[in-house]
Amino acid sequence: MVKRTKLEVIKDILEVLSKGRNVKITHLIYKSNLSNNSIKPHLNELLSNGLMTIYEEDNKKHFRITQKGQEFLKEYNKMKIFSDSYGLS
């Protein structure tokens, strides 16, 4: 099994968020293939850098990607295509 880089994990979390409007933590953990403990530092970083927001609805926390998060995904994907074209995957 190949270990993902920090940027790949962040990209995976943001991709999950980009596909749903009201994403709960359990869905995020499952879809991004992380444990509850391993996802928390990433969520804190994404929140503090304005790439996602958190809100409560029905006493449950939900997450949502921000415009800045969408821009990160777009730029990440451009860089991935660029690096792949040079065989640097």
Domain limits at 56?
6-83
Establish if 31 belongs to a structural domain: yes
Q: What is the 3-state secondary structure (H, E, C) of the chain?
A: CCCCCHHHHHHHHHHHHHCCCCEEHHHHHHHHCCCHHHHHHHHHHHHHCCCEEEEEECCEEEEEECHHHHHHHHHHHHHHHHHHHCCCC
Establish if 1 belongs to a structural domain: no
- Tally of domains within the chain: 1
Position 87 scores a pLDDT of 92
**Residue 1 binned pLDDT confidence (cut-offs 50, 70, 90):** low
Position 14 scores a pLDDT of 97
CATH number, position 38: 1.10.10.10
Question: Is pLDDT at 23 greater than 80 in this prediction?
Answer: yes
**pLDDT per position as a tens digit, 34-56:** 999 999 999 999 999 999 999 99
